[in-house]
Structure 1
Amino acid sequence: MKKIRFGILSTAKIGRTKVVPAIQHSELCRVDAISSRTMESARAAADALSIPKAYDSYEALLADPDIDAVYIPLPNHLHVAWAIKGLEAGKHVLCEKPIGLNTSEANELINAEGRHPDLKIMEAFMYRHHPQWVEAKRLVDVGEIGELKTIQSFFSYYNADPDNIRNKADIGGGAMMDIGCYNISLSRFIFDAEPSRGIGFMERDPEFGTDRLFSGMLDFKGRVSSFTCSTQLADYQRVNIFGTTGRIEILIPFNAPPDRPCALILQRDNVPEDEQLRTITFDICDQYSIQADVFARAILDDTRVPVTLNDAYANMQTLERLMKSAEDGTWVRC
């Protein structure tokens, strides 16, 4: 079986601890190289992860003719530049979210994709590929909770480290860029639509200048998604999807563990009482491995990736407009 040969641009923690091991355990991929700005760092990561090749620059890895695709876990402000360089080097690109710092950057990447129609590029919203989200979407679509009306979601953690990239405003730090993009993405995914307007409420960190607490509301032509995200609250994540006759609660919606089963709760009001509350459990799986295989399958079969750049652009556009709403204190058109 042909496998897609991945190279990793950087030794970022998310790559070393989550994504690279998951790619290595996928069915259709393998990791053949990793790069850093120093050979010492690259070699240490390569040795720890049993990766055959180490490069002391991203350019050197991109020049390797035996690499089919690159995974980019770089800081947000570097996503677009290195994704474009990856395409120009003839590599397929799997890039961490958010795809860029703004819609202008996302549009640059869309234009670059157009110049390389034979290559695949995908935003790495790994949660969408987990079976719990596939099932949640199916339940909504087949009417198990009646008419879909509203979604409530929450995502938070506490990080006050001034040296952490998530607390550096000038390179894309802050709650919305790091985790609020999930709240927006899931809303668009479940409603299968774009919001018509939105409003945001924000608290900035006085030292970092980042949005450390953000609440938003999105209007999908009378159906509503509301959410809160924060980089300085207790760790918590939950999603509730409400319909006229039922509800779906996803217990660990984003950081689904790869070493134990996940579950969602399905509540239905129009069935016998002993069937009204049901827990659906999913077998142990790694959403990052599934993501790698989904991306690889699109390459091997020459089909469209499930999270396209147009989707990434739309997500960034909604994020930008919610930020503007928070600054202006008013509803904005999305």
Structure 2
Amino acid sequence: MAKHIRWGILGASNFALNHMAPAIHSARGGMFSALATSDAENAKPFVEKVPGLTVFEDYDALLADDQIDAIYVPLPNHLHVEWTLKALRAGKHVLCEKPIAMRADQIDEIITLRNETGLLAAEAYMIVHHPQWQKAKALYEAGAIGELIRVSGAFSYDNSADGGNIRNRPETGGGAIPDIGVYTYGSTRFVTGQEPQEILSTAIRYENDVDVWSHITAQFPSFHYTAVNSMRMSPWQDMTFHGSEGVMRLTAPFNPMVYGEARIDLHRASGEIAVYRFPGDNHYVLQVEAFNRSATSGAAYACPLEFSRGTQAMIDMVFDKDRG
């Protein structure tokens, strides 16, 4: 196995420019080596960040470069499966933006090819690499809040003024639940290790055939769950785990350092409050470093495709329930 991962990025998205390219470039165990984009102007700010960066005019040319070990895919949602499979067939490890697929069964083909090639393929689900979430899981498993009774999550922002945004377009796999429901749904699964038994209710508002606001309730084996996700509300992030002996609340659970400080407030039944702060951890960098370690050593990865499939299965359950 390679000891140092040389990364290529498919597409010059703003998210790649502002978050993942810097993370790949600064993460230990790898380097940002190449970019594929047909627009030379879009490549310029990447080259300014990484002088000497190789720029390809099309995606296939990047995949054909034997100097590249891993591919990051930040393309619109409807292209994720196609280019993840192409990258694996080209002999590259793949980190693909979420959601990695639009339906859970589409992930099965990726899992099969991952197993056949022995390469690492994963969804870019960065939060599980952040110590805030790792601590939350450890506290829950240690019984810090007693028997879990209720979980509530909320994640919202407002992009109503940007009609051309891929999240507002059905043909690119848009919608609030595919974009941010993965966090309110998946983080609950990550902390508790439980899967939803039933979606009890859905209230979803659509615009231009994409969901822009939703409130869902679900039953897990040992707790009740509720979540709100919206692209039409003031920005807000919150996850609360309410048990028989305490309440665990995560602030800035999904965009720490952008939305606010990552913190866990643990309220015990006695009235005592324990506060855990994580002010300087960058989950994008931590994610890439974890990927580099797994790709070079074969070590277990915190977010395998099987986990991502479970979150997508829950999303499928929500839409199936809503559409009858």
Asked if these proteins are the same fold (TM beyond 0.5), I'd say yes
- Counterpart Cα distance in 2 of 1:53 and 1:251: 39
2:183 maps to 1:190: no
Alpha carbons 1:67, 1:91 under 8 Å: kept: yes
Q: After superposition, what is the alpha-carbon deviation per residue over 1:7-63, rounded to whole angstroms, capped at 9, x for unaligned?
A: 111111111001111121211221011111234433453234435211111111111
Q: CA deviation at 1:146?
A: 1.1
Q: Which of 292, 295, 298 in structure 2 is aligned with 1:296?
A: 292
- Counterpart Cα distance in 2 of 1:292 and 1:34: 17
Alpha carbons 2:199, 2:217 under 8 Å: kept: yes
Give the structure 2 partner of residue 325 of structure 1.
Answer: 321
Q: After superposition, what is the alpha-carbon deviation per residue over 1:67-102, rounded to whole angstroms, capped at 9, x for unaligned?
A: 111111111001010001110111000111111111
Alpha carbons 2:175, 2:212 under 8 Å: kept: yes
Alpha carbons 1:203, 1:213 under 8 Å: kept: yes
- Aligned partner letter, 2:302: P
- Counterpart Cα distance in 2 of 1:134 and 1:231: 27
Q: After superposition, what is the alpha-carbon deviation per residue over 1:135-165, rounded to whole angstroms, capped at 9, x for unaligned?
A: 1111111111112222111000001122110
Q: CA deviation at 1:123?
A: 0.8
Alpha carbons 2:72, 2:94 under 8 Å: kept: yes
- Counterpart Cα distance in 1 of 2:258 and 2:319: 33
Change over 3 Å in CA distance of 1:18–1:44 after alignment to 2 = closer
- Counterpart Cα distance in 1 of 2:89 and 2:167: 29
Change over 3 Å in CA distance of 1:146–1:222 after alignment to 2 = closer
Change over 3 Å in CA distance of 1:179–1:165 after alignment to 2 = same
Q: Percent of pairs identical after alignment?
A: 32
Bigger drift between 41-50 and 141-150 goes to 41-50
Alpha carbons 1:87, 1:93 under 8 Å: kept: yes
- Counterpart Cα distance in 1 of 2:315 and 2:48: 39
Change over 3 Å in CA distance of 1:307–1:313 after alignment to 2 = same
What root-mean-square deviation, in Å, do the aligned CA atoms of Structure 1 and Structure 2 show? 1.8
Alpha carbons 1:261, 1:285 under 8 Å: kept: no
Q: After superposition, what is the alpha-carbon deviation per residue over 1:271-319, rounded to whole angstroms, capped at 9, x for unaligned?
A: xx5xx11221124121000000111111121123221111111211110
Alpha carbons 1:5, 1:67 under 8 Å: kept: yes
Q: After superposition, what is the alpha-carbon deviation per residue over 1:225-250, rounded to whole angstroms, capped at 9, x for unaligned?
A: 21000011111111111111111111
Alpha carbons 1:266, 1:279 under 8 Å: kept: yes
- Counterpart Cα distance in 1 of 2:255 and 2:101: 21
- Counterpart Cα distance in 2 of 1:322 and 1:49: 42
Structure 2's unaligned 5+ residue stretches are: none
Give the structure 1 partner of residue 209 of structure 2.
Answer: 209
2:69 maps to 1:68: yes
- Counterpart Cα distance in 2 of 1:217 and 1:326: 12
User: Match of 1:291, SS?
Assistant: helix
Give the structure 2 partner of residue 331 of structure 1.
Answer: none
Give the structure 2 partner of residue 199 of structure 1.
Answer: 200
Structure 1's unaligned 5+ residue stretches are: 329-334
Give the structure 2 partner of residue 155 of structure 1.
Answer: 155
- Counterpart Cα distance in 2 of 1:229 and 1:155: 5
2:136 maps to 1:140: no
Alpha carbons 2:131, 2:278 under 8 Å: kept: yes
User: Match of 1:285, SS?
Assistant: coil
Bigger drift between 213-222 and 135-144 goes to 213-222
Give the structure 2 partner of residue 111 of structure 1.
Answer: 112
User: Match of 1:266, SS?
Assistant: strand
- Counterpart Cα distance in 2 of 1:278 and 1:121: 37
Bigger drift between 284-293 and 141-150 goes to 141-150
- Aligned partner letter, 1:124: A
Alpha carbons 2:202, 2:217 under 8 Å: kept: no
- Aligned partner letter, 1:235: P
TM-score (norm 2): 0.94
- Counterpart Cα distance in 2 of 1:192 and 1:259: 26
User: Match of 1:205, SS?
Assistant: strand
Alpha carbons 1:34, 1:51 under 8 Å: kept: no
- Aligned partner letter, 1:199: L
Alpha carbons 2:122, 2:303 under 8 Å: kept: yes
Alpha carbons 1:29, 1:296 under 8 Å: kept: yes
- Counterpart Cα distance in 2 of 1:303 and 1:262: 27
Query: Within 5 A, what are the aligned runs for 1:48-63?
Result: 48-50=49-51, 52-63=53-64
- Aligned partner letter, 1:94: L
TM-score (norm 1): 0.91
Give the structure 2 partner of residue 18 of structure 1.
Answer: 19
- Aligned partner letter, 1:98: P
- Counterpart Cα distance in 1 of 2:201 and 2:13: 31
